[in-house]
């Protein structure tokens, strides 16, 4: 499991963007700690990779 900061550092996606993706239901964290921290597993990272690919191809978030 990776924290939102670790995912941000690994992918170059801002923490705010990851929070937004969670808010709109595009990318949910695999787990949340009792303190509310988002944790991402390999499946979530794979989903993020797909999202980034579609964004590179200029798909809108609605289309994704």
pLDDT 10s digits, 25-36: 999 999 999 999
Separation CA 4–CA 14 (nearest Å): 9
- Residue 17 is predicted with a pLDDT of 97
Q: How confident is the model at residue 6 (pLDDT cuts 50, 70, 90)?
A: very high
Other CB atoms within a 10 A radius of the CB of residue 18 amount to 22
Q: What are the extents of the domains in the chain?
A: 2-56
Sheet holding 31-32, edge to edge: 2-3, 38-40, 31-32
- Residue 11 is predicted with a pLDDT of 95
Phi-psi region of 55 (alpha: psi -120 to 50; beta: other; left: phi over 0): alpha
User: Is there a contact between 18 and 32 (Cβ–Cβ < 8 Å)?
Assistant: no
Class for the domain spanning 2-56: mainly alpha
């Amino acid at each position: 499991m990776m924290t939102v900061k670790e995912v941000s550092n690994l992918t170059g996606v801002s923490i705010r963007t990851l929070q937004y993706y969670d808010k709109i239901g595009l990318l949910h964290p695999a787990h949340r700690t009792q303190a509310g921290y988002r944790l991402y597993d390999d499946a979530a990272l794979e989903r993020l990779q797909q999202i980034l690919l579609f964004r590179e191809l200029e798909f809108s978030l609605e289309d994704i």
